[in-house]
């Protein structure tokens, strides 16, 4: 499980965030957006967020920039295992960009770290609505279903992955594991010992 968690962290943090749009709109908004972009390059998240928040207040086209920096700061919090602050930033980013599949994926990952599997499941489902054929999202949702003991849904997502990529090693491994569990469950339970006899 620790290897799986570390791998997920690497994958989640490595996902690229959108490029900043620093268009020719309102000059004051453009100034703040440029300040935000520079602060982002310097990994000064608070300054970047403040600048993009000001830019977005003047010109809404800067809202995606603000959402992107919130996600970056959330990933920094995640690296520090500051899960409450990471969730706070991701919640705010999703208020700005509610259909952002990657923001849902990131929030689901943080929710998994605090073992809030129901919320993580909901976030992966939202991500899948936006990108129904994204193998990574299907694999993670399948994993959560498996952890929760919902083997039917875990298998359904695993089969979707195998339809998209029949050689996916993680999906093949999960399928074999779930089939083994279901086979064991299909065996009848042994008869209880007769009354008065100890097992």
The model carries a pTM of: 0.74
Residue range 144-161: average pLDDT?
Answer: 95
The chain-wide mean pLDDT, for the chain, equals 82
* Among 122, 127, 76, 85, CA closest to 104: 127
For the stretch 37-58, pLDDT in tens is: 888 888 887 887 877 788 778 7
The pLDDT of residue 106 is 96
Contacts of 110 (CB under 8 A, 6+ apart): 74, 78, 83, 86, 87, 90
| Alpha-carbon gap, residue 164 to 160, rounded angstroms | 6
Q: Which CATH architecture has domain 1-16+27-131?
A: Alpha Horseshoe (1.25)
Q: How far apart are CA 148 and CA 167, in angstroms?
A: 25
Pick the more confident residue, 60 or 41: 41
**Residue 18: per-residue pLDDT:** 45
pLDDT of 132 reads 96
- CA 80 – CA 41 distance, rounded (Å): 19
């Amino acid at each position: 499980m620790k290897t799986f968690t570390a791998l997920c962290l690497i994958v989640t943090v490595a996902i690229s965030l959108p490029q900043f749009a620093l268009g020719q709109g309102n000059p004051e908004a453009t100034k703040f957006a440029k300040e935000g972009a520079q602060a982002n390059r310097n990994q000064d998240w608070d300054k970047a967020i403040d600048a993009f928040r000001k830019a977005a207040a003047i010109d809404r086209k800067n809202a995606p920039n603000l959402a992107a920096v919130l996600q970056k700061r959330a990933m920094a919090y995640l690296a520090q295992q500051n899960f409450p602050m990471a969730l706070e930033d991701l919640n705010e980013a999703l208020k700005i960009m509610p259909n952002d599949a990657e923001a849902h994926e990131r929030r689901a990952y943080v929710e998994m770290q605090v073992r809030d599997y129901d919320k993580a499941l909901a976030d992966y489902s939202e991500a899948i609505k936006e990108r129904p054929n994204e193998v990574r999202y299907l694999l993670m949702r399948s994993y959560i279903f498996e952890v929760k003991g919902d083997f039917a849904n875990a298998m359904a997502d695993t089969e979707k992955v195998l339809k998209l990529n029949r050689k996916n090693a993680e999906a093949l491994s999960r399928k074999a594991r779930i089939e083994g569990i279901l086979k064991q469950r299909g065996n009848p339970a042994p008869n209880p010992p007769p009354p008065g006899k100890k097992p």
